[in-house]
C-alpha cells in the first residue's frame, strides 16, 4: 500500500518553514539546527518515494551528491587547500559526487525519473549561486531552498486541493526544467513585488514623496534606525546626499552621517525576511500549481 507523500511533504514543509518564518520575523535569525533536522527528513521521504516507484538501485546514488550539497550548506568543513597543500580527503570529497553523477547519467540516462532527480541537484546548486550573488541575501533563505529542493523533487498533488493545468507529458518536462522548488521561488518573487505597492501607499498616506525610494522603503526617525530591522538608504558622503536603494547591511558611517547633520527622519529599507514570501509561495504552489502551466493552458 503506497503512502500519499504529497500530504506528508506538505505537513513537513508547513511545520519547518513555518517555524523558520516565526524565528526570522522575530529575530532575523534562523537556527541552523532547524535545517539539519529538516534535511534528513526530506531525504528519507525521497528514499521512500523512490522505493514506492520501484526504481533500480542506481537511482539511489542520487543521495551521494545530495549529501555532499547538504554538508556544504550546513556544516563547516576543512579547506581543500591548507598551507599551500591540497587536502586529499577534502579533494576526494569534491570528486566523489561528480563521478557519481557522471555514472548515473551514463547508466540510466534514458530514465525520465533520472532527470527529475538531477533537477534536485540543479536547484541545490542554484541556492549556492543565488546566495553568492546576494540574490538570496540571508543564509537561511539559501538553506531553505537546499532543503526544499530535496523535499519537492516532483510536483505534489492532493486531490481537491492542488490544481493541474496541462497534460501529463507537459508536467513531466516541467518537473525537469521548472522544478516545484523554483515554482515556490517564483511565487515568492511575485508576492515580494506587492511590497512596493504597500510602501507606495504608506508613503503617499504620510506625504513622504521621493522617487524611486518611495517604492522600496519608507521614512523613519534616525534615532530609531539602529534598534530596528531596517537599513538606511540615504546618507551623506563628501558633503553630498546620496541614495542607495538596496543597502546590504547597517552602514555605521552612513548612519553617523545622518546623525551629524541632525536629520530627524531618513529613508530606510526594511529587512524583509524572504522566508515569509517563500512560505506563502509554497502554499500557493500547492493550491495553484505552476503559474506557467496555467499560462500555457490559457494561451492554448
pLDDT of residue 168: 63
pLDDT band at 276 (very low <50, low <70, confident <90, very high): very high
pLDDT higher than 50, residue 1: no
pLDDT of residue 47: 97
Coil vs helix vs strand at 243: strand
- Residue 45 counted as domain residue: yes
| C-alpha 44 chain-centroid distance | 21
- Residue 120 counted as domain residue: yes
- Residue 283 counted as domain residue: no
pLDDT higher than 50, residue 282: yes
- Residue 267 counted as domain residue: no
pLDDT band at 85 (very low <50, low <70, confident <90, very high): confident
- Residue 121 counted as domain residue: yes
**Dist. CA 195–CA 162, nearest whole Å:** 26
**For residue 243, which of 215, 277, 281, 204 has the smallest C-alpha distance?**
215
- Domain residues for the domain of 132 are 5-166
Mean of the per-residue pLDDT values of the chain:
87
Helix (H) or strand (E) holding 32: helix 32-53
CA distances to 13, 132, 162 from 7, in Å: 10, 33, 11
Overall number of domains in the chain: 1
First to last CA, the chain: 38
| C-alpha 168 chain-centroid distance | 27
Q: What is the 3-state secondary structure (H, E, C) of 46-70?
A: HHHHHHHHCCCHHHHHHHHHHHHHH
- Residue 286 counted as domain residue: no
Find all residues with CB under 8 Å of 83, minimum gap 6, and list them.
none
For the chain, how many residues are written? 300
- Residue 23 counted as domain residue: yes
- Residue 253 counted as domain residue: no
Burial of 75 (0-12, 13-18, 19+ CB in 10 A): exposed
CB distance 53 to 3 below 8 Å: no
Q: What is the pLDDT of residues 202-260, one digit of tens each?
A: 999 988 888 888 998 899 888 888 888 888 888 888 778 888 877 776 667 778 888 88
Supply the pTM of this predicted model.
0.86
Amino acid at each position: 500500500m503506497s503512502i500519499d507523500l504529497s500530504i506528508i511533504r506538505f505537513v513537513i514543509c508547513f511545520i519547518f518553514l513555518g517555524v523558520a518564518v516565526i524565528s526570522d520575523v522575530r529575530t532575523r535569525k534562523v537556527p541552523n539546527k532547524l535545517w539539519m533536522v529538516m534535511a534528513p527528513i526530506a531525504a528519507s521521504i525521497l528514499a521512500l518515494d523512490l522505493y514506492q516507484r520501484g526504481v533500480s538501485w542506481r537511482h539511489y546514488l542520487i543521495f551521494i551528491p545530495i549529501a555532499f550539497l547538504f554538508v556544504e550548506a550546513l556544516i563547516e568543513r576543512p579547506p581543500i587547500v591548507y598551507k599551500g597543500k591540497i587536502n586529499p580527503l577534502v579533494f576526494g570529497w569534491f570528486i566523489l559526487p561528480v563521478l557519481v553523477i557522471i555514472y548515473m547519467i551514463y547508466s540510466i540516462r534514458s530514465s525520465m525519473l533520472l532527470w527529475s532527480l538531477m533537477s534536485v541537484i540543479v536547484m541545490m546548486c542554484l541556492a549556492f549561486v543565488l546566495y553568492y550573488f546576494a540574490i538570496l541575501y540571508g543564509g537561511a533563505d539559501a538553506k531553505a531552498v537546499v532543503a526544499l529542493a530535496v523535499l519537492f523533487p516532483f510536483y505534489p498533488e492532493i486531490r481537491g486541493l492542488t490544481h493541474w493545468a496541462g497534460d501529463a507529458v507537459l508536467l513531466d518536462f516541467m518537473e525537469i526544467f521548472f522544478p516545484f522548488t523554483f515554482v515556490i521561488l517564483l511565487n515568492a518573487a511575485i508576492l515580494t513585488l506587492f511590497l512596493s505597492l504597500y510602501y507606495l501607499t504608506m508613503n503617499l498616506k504620510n506625504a513622504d514623496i521621493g522617487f524611486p525610494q518611495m517604492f522600496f522603503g519608507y521614512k523613519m526617525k534616525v534615532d530609531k534606525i539602529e534598534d530596528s530591522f531596517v537599513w538606511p538608504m540615504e546618507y551623506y558622503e563628501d558633503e553630498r546626499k546620496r541614495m542607495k536603494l538596496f543597502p546590504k547591511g547597517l552602514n555605521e558611517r552612513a548612519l553617523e552621517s545622518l546623525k551629524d547633520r541632525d536629520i530627524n527622519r531618513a529613508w530606510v529599507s526594511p529587512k524583509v525576511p524572504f522566508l515569509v514570501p517563500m512560505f506563502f509561495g509554497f502554499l500557493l504552489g500547492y493550491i495553484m500549481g505552476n503559474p506557467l502551466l496555467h499560462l500555457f493552458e490559457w494561451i492554448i
